[in-house]
Chains A and B, each alone.
Chain A
Amino acid sequence: MSETKLSPQQTQPLVSVQNLSKIYGGEKRLLGGNVPALKAVNDVSFDVAPGETLGLVGESGSGKSTTGRVLLQLEAPTSGDILYKGQNITGLSKSLLKPYRRDMQIIFQDPYASLNPRMTVGEFVAEPLDVHGLGGNRSERQDRVAGLFKKVGLDPSFMKRYPHEFSGGQRQRVNIARAIALDPAFIVADEPITALDVSIQAQIVNLFQDLQDELGLAYLFIAHDLSMIRYLCHRVAVMLRGRIVEIGPCEAIFENPQHPYTQALLSAIPVPDPDIERDRKPMVFDVNANMPSETAVLQPLGGGHFVLGA
């Protein structure tokens, strides 16, 4: 399948993933036999256009986080290619990959675990600048970090504080400040609001949106909160057991889902309205009885909407 087919945009994709697979296990055991192979990501292809948000949804174990990590080569893919602005960057050495690392960043789910407790949050945000030799002199570095703090809605006077002095939402803002420090074009956001309090989630979603509008960022937004995905994303890919079973414009996926798994997933979202909830009957979908076949391919439905065939 060609990359252009999967993207409704006519522009060159910023990031393109082609037939990406990640298999864990499968090695020979010392005493005969093989370790059972798990296809965490199985022949996954998609594009992300500049300034676009692609949502990646699926149940736990569907391979959505692994896809994000392999895309950034935090783990080596088993097979397949990752293209950045048309350049194949798969398997590049650390030093050759370094310039691309600037452009592609990640934000993790747990804002508590991803901060260094012994580093002031200012130092934490400045660290990538130092790594890439972009900090400049002391006052320039200070100004840049202060600017980043303002951009994510944090008071620059907080720079000298330590992570334990911050709430979950503030910590996620610190993580976001670090992720945008190098002026990236693409961010993988792996469940960035899941661990946050409900009253804080909208703040962070709005921040993601503002930063995209201001900096032209593209996101791969991995989440299981489908109503937030619907709100935020331009396109959505639905994963099931390592495969993309459906991908397309957000409206097409939510208004006209074609794959039975997508349909089951959408029917299961709890709606905060007692009148709707009382009559809702979620569809049952047994994954084990409906495993996508190895030979199935994504079939075009028009308008950039694809569904995995039988």
Chain B
Amino acid sequence: MAPLLEVRNLTVAFDTPSGTVHAVNDVSYTLEEGETLGIVGESGSGKSVHALSMVGLIASPPGRVVAGEVLFQGRNLLTLPKRELFEVRGKEIGFVFQDPMTSLNPVLTIERQIAEPLRRHFGMSALAASNRVVELLELVGIPDAARRAKQYPHEFSGGMRQRVMIAIGISCNPKLLIADEATTALDVTVQAQILDLVRDLKRRIGTTVIWITHDMGVVAGLADTVQVMYGGRIMERGPVRPVFHDPRSAYTWGLLKSLPHGGKRGVTRLYQIPGNPPDLTKPPLGDPFAPRNQFATARCHTEVPPLLDVAGSTPGHKVAAWYDLRAELAGQAELTGQEGQP
């Protein structure tokens, strides 16, 4: 079966006054139907930009897709006529963005905003759309949905607004739901409820999900596959278990190791990744993480490593690295007598 989504060599740049920002560099991956892909990275990793550029949602100028193909059900979204892309967006690919405060229109009722794509994409009557809105609000766990539908965004709490955003995202039963830091602005208790809701929706309607976040914990709980991005590139990807338990990229390893893991100051000291994220107007020549990587080899600084299968690990586990992290850590453990695993 052909994958639902296939991204091939996607490269995106922004022309800014201080130079060209190489935001996404040669990103390729596939996403199967029903799969949940967690994309982890920090600001400037290209995780959001790559998703937005797939469906023509980056401002152009300054942004431009330099190269690549994005095959969604076999059609290249990057060359699709605007009208057809419009059809795909919202109907076949739903979006949920980070900020529920600014993504909703304050002067329209919740009903109007959820009904809009339904009426546009399916030509639903006002009554049919209104009924569907109530159904959707119930689906995302908003109590008293019929009454709440007539209210305005300011009458909803942050968590409730994010539920509304998810309702809009799934309103047209999209094949693919892309959520970009959708729970970052929420309190942890509310985040837990939203994540439960997404898991529940996956079970019930089988949505394929791309969940973009900086939070390793969220990915651990939600994703089947995790993809770690840095400096506009994929550093590592694979099923969540091997990536979390046996990371092969020094960046993934460092991120996991820098988290407290229930530890206590005085007893343990947090591992810190040295240095700062790269300036993408002057991206490093080779591996973007090389300047911060204690295991970097000479080749890391001059040549970009390809994303290759990890020999002996779970199928699908891939890493872009010239160094062998496992061997390096084993060597370190021998020297210090300590376990190097996070």
List the interface of chain A (C-beta within 8 A of B).
Answer: 59-60, 167-170, 197-203, 205-206, 209, 224, 226-228, 230-232, 250, 264-265, 267-278, 280, 282, 284-285
Of A209, A267, A270, A285, which one neighbours B218 at CB under 8 angstroms? Answer: A270
**Contact indicator B217/A198 (Cβ below 8 Å):** no
Of B191, B193, B214, which one neighbours A284 at CB under 8 angstroms? Answer: B193
A156 to B270, CA, bound (A): 25
Taking A169-B276, A197-B43, A275-B241 as contacts, is the C-beta distance between A231 and B270 under 8 angstroms? yes
**Contact indicator B241/A226 (Cβ below 8 Å):** no
A250 to B260, CA, bound (A): 14
B265 CB-CB contact with A under 8 Å = yes
**Contact indicator A206/B264 (Cβ below 8 Å):** no
Taking A274-B220, A280-B221 as contacts, is the C-beta distance between A199 and B254 under 8 angstroms? yes
CB-CB < 8 A to B214: which residues of A?
197-198
Can you list 9 A-B pairs, Cβ within 8 angstroms, ordered by A? A168-B43, A197-B42, A200-B273, A203-B272, A224-B188, A227-B262, A272-B217, A272-B259, A273-B220
**Contact indicator B221/A198 (Cβ below 8 Å):** no
Nearest chain B residue, comparing its CB with the CB of A167: B276
A202 to B256, CA, bound (A): 11
CB-CB < 8 A to B193: which residues of A?
282, 284
Taking A170-B276, A197-B42, A226-B188 as contacts, is the C-beta distance between A269 and B217 under 8 angstroms? yes
**Contact indicator B42/A59 (Cβ below 8 Å):** no
**Contact indicator A270/B215 (Cβ below 8 Å):** yes
Looking at A200, A201, A267, A270, the one whose CB has the most chain B CB atoms below 10 A away is A270
**Contact indicator A228/B260 (Cβ below 8 Å):** yes
**Contact indicator A209/B265 (Cβ below 8 Å):** yes
**Contact indicator A274/B244 (Cβ below 8 Å):** yes
Nearest chain B residue, comparing its CB with the CB of A204: B272
Residues of B in contact, count (CB < 8 Å) = 46
CB-CB < 8 A to A203: which residues of B?
272-274
A169 to B292, CA, bound (A): 14
CB distance from B33 to the nearest CB of A (A): 22
Taking A205-B270, A271-B217 as contacts, is the C-beta distance between A198 and B255 under 8 angstroms? yes
List the interface of chain B (C-beta within 8 A of A).
Answer: 42-43, 158, 187-193, 195-196, 214-222, 240-241, 244-245, 251, 254-256, 258-265, 269-274, 276-277, 292
A7 to B196, CA, bound (A): 38
**Contact indicator A224/B187 (Cβ below 8 Å):** yes
Taking A268-B192, A270-B221 as contacts, is the C-beta distance between A206 and B260 under 8 angstroms? no
CB-CB < 8 A to A270: which residues of B?
188, 191-192, 195, 215, 217-218, 220-221
CB distance from A78 to the nearest CB of B (A): 25
Taking A197-B277, A200-B276 as contacts, is the C-beta distance between A230 and B262 under 8 angstroms? yes
A278 to B264, CA, bound (A): 25
Of A167, A168, A209, A265, which one neighbours B188 at CB under 8 angstroms? Answer: A265
Taking A227-B259, A227-B260 as contacts, is the C-beta distance between A264 and B276 under 8 angstroms? no
A169 to B189, CA, bound (A): 28
**Contact indicator A206/B220 (Cβ below 8 Å):** no
A202 to B263, CA, bound (A): 13
A197 to B190, CA, bound (A): 22
**Contact indicator B220/A202 (Cβ below 8 Å):** no
CB-CB < 8 A to A278: which residues of B?
221
**Contact indicator B264/A277 (Cβ below 8 Å):** no
CB distance from B264 to the nearest CB of A (A): 6
Nearest chain B residue, comparing its CB with the CB of A200: B276
CB distance from B118 to the nearest CB of A (A): 30
A274 to B187, CA, bound (A): 21
CB distance from A38 to the nearest CB of B (A): 15
Of A202, A224, A268, which one neighbours B258 at CB under 8 angstroms? Answer: A202
Nearest chain A residue, comparing its CB with the CB of B243: A274
CB-CB < 8 A to B264: which residues of A?
230-231, 250
**Contact indicator B241/A277 (Cβ below 8 Å):** no
CB-CB < 8 A to A200: which residues of B?
273, 276-277
**Contact indicator A272/B271 (Cβ below 8 Å):** no
CB-CB < 8 A to A209: which residues of B?
265, 269
CB distance from B160 to the nearest CB of A (A): 12
CB-CB < 8 A to B263: which residues of A?
231
A282 to B183, CA, bound (A): 15
A227 to B218, CA, bound (A): 14
Nearest chain B residue, comparing its CB with the CB of A228: B260
Nearest chain A residue, comparing its CB with the CB of B254: A199
A271 to B222, CA, bound (A): 11
**Contact indicator A268/B255 (Cβ below 8 Å):** no
Of A60, A201, A272, A276, which one neighbours B158 at CB under 8 angstroms? Answer: A60
Nearest chain A residue, comparing its CB with the CB of B183: A270
CB-CB < 8 A to B222: which residues of A?
277
Q: 4 tightest CB-CB pairs across the interface, nearest first?
A: A270-B217, A277-B221, A282-B192, A231-B260
Nearest chain A residue, comparing its CB with the CB of B257: A202
Given A170-B276, A224-B188, 12 additional A-B pairs, CB 8 A: A59-B187, A198-B214, A200-B273, A230-B260, A264-B189, A265-B188, A265-B189, A272-B244, A272-B261, A277-B217, A277-B220, A285-B189
